Amino acid sequence: MLSLIQNEWMKWWTMKKSKIVLAIYVLIAIGIVIIAKTNDIDFTRSEFYDLTSIILITLLGIITIVFTAEAIGNEVRYDTMKHLLMSPYSRMTIYFSKLVFSILLMLGQFLLIVLISYVLSFTFSEAGDPLVMRDTWLLLVSPIFTIFMTLFFSLLFRSVGMIIGFTVLAQFFTTIAGSVLLAFKPGLAKWIVFMHLDWSMYFDQSLEAQLVNPMDTTLTFSVIFVLAHILVLLGGSILIFQKKSYT
């Protein structure tokens, strides 16, 4: 499987957009420093870190959809899927190599974002609240879930555009539906998985009041609910990939 992950890395790293994306993370973070400094915005270290990391991790969510969609979508686009499937590796191994690579790739970018935000935060004052990393790590839940969902859609649609479109739309509309339900029928909102992807709501008092209490949910419920969805998406993906014919 390691050689298959190496292949995924080679395919990703050879694309120009991989380097462009990494450069964008750095440029955005530096841009925020420049804007803050030139406009005399008095950020503390933790304020800068929180703002920059949230902006970049939101961007990472979109980038993760694109790269994960391309992991399978490009094989269909270039008709190279048949070469993967003709190899002695099983379909299951091929699927898992793409899944593991997508998670590793997202984690790599996540760590880069944390590193840039952390290092650049030293250009600001130490005053104010201390820098807390806990909420940053909790933000990982959403992109991990997105990977499983995007890979599932990758097996339903042939074009990269369709995969990205459906993943974004599914996230967008379900989150809107969740927000509407939260306002009018909060008890039902807890049955929408996208309402459980930000686990920092259990550690932040204002979010607890806005989300956790109306939905009457717990961290244990969120963890189980998200894991159950991941298992369904994984099982569905494996079933489809085992049977799917790429002609």
**Closer Cβ to another protein, 206 or 247, answer by number:** 247
For position 158 contacting another protein by CB under 8 A, the verdict is no
Q: By the 8 A CB rule, do 94 and 66 touch?
A: no
- Residue span binding another protein (CB under 8 A) among the ranges 80-88, 105-113, 195-203, 208-216: 80-88
Using the 8-state DSSP alphabet, how is residue 130 labeled? P
Residue 57's contacts (CB-CB under 8 Å, 6 or more residues apart) are 110, 113, 136, 139, 143
Measured CA to CA, the distance from residue 138 to residue 180 in angstroms comes to 24
Q: Taking the mean position of all CA atoms in its chain, how far away is CA 177?
A: 20
Smallest separation (angstroms) from another protein to the CB of 78: 6
Tokens 């499983």 appear where? Answer: 148
Smallest separation (angstroms) from another protein to the CB of 176: 37
For position 206 contacting another protein by CB under 8 A, the verdict is no
Smallest separation (angstroms) from another protein to the CB of 143: 25
Tokens 């420093």 appear where? Answer: 33
For position 39 contacting another protein by CB under 8 A, the verdict is no
For the segment 89-108, give every residue that binds another protein (CB under 8 A): 89-90
* Length of the chain in terms of residues written: 247
Strand, helix or coil for residue 44 = strand
Q: By the 8 A CB rule, do 64 and 106 touch?
A: yes
- Residue span binding another protein (CB under 8 A) among the ranges 48-56, 82-90, 107-115, 233-241: 82-90
Tokens in use for 87? 């190899």
Q: Convert residues 47-76 into a mask of x (bound to another protein by CB under 8 A) and - (unbound).
A: ---------------------------x--
Smallest separation (angstroms) from another protein to the CB of 141: 32
Kindly list the residues in this chain that would bind another protein in the complex (CB under 8 A).
Answer: 3-4, 6-7, 10-11, 14-16, 74, 78-80, 82-90, 245-247
